[in-house]
Amino acid sequence: MNQALLQVRVDRGLKEETAAIYDAIGIDLPTAIRMFLKRTVMVGGLPFEGKLVIKDNAARRAFVSMRQKVEAAQEDEPSLDEINEYISSVRRSRKSAGTTARRQA
């Protein structure tokens, strides 16, 4: 087996807490790290959901409020075709307005 050394610096408290958890389930820290690396290869990425936790703020509260109103009204969300048609119509009207403005100049 062709082995390589992997060194990682972490906070001592984090290492001790993590080692205690793995010890309680019967594995040592190096084994847990090897498991993490093998699982990373198996899934082709992080072996858990990598997600940014958004703290509650005004923008998030406003978004949630609007979303709840839409759901309460049971309004259907526009289809992708409807969204694309709307975008195209806006572009056509802007292009038309630009052509008119150039003619007047």
Residue 64 and residue 70: Cα distance in Å, rounded?
Answer: 10
**Two tokens at 97?**
């307005």
Residue 8 and residue 105: Cα distance in Å, rounded?
Answer: 66
Provide the pLDDT for residue 80: 84
Low-confidence ranges of the chain (pLDDT < 50): none
Residues 59-76 pLDDT 10s: 777 777 877 887 777 666
Q: What is the pTM of this model?
A: 0.47
Which 3 state secondary structure label does DSSP give 65?
A: helix
CB within 8 Å of 28: residues ≥ 6 apart: 19, 22
Closest CA to 17 of 32, 5, 35: 32
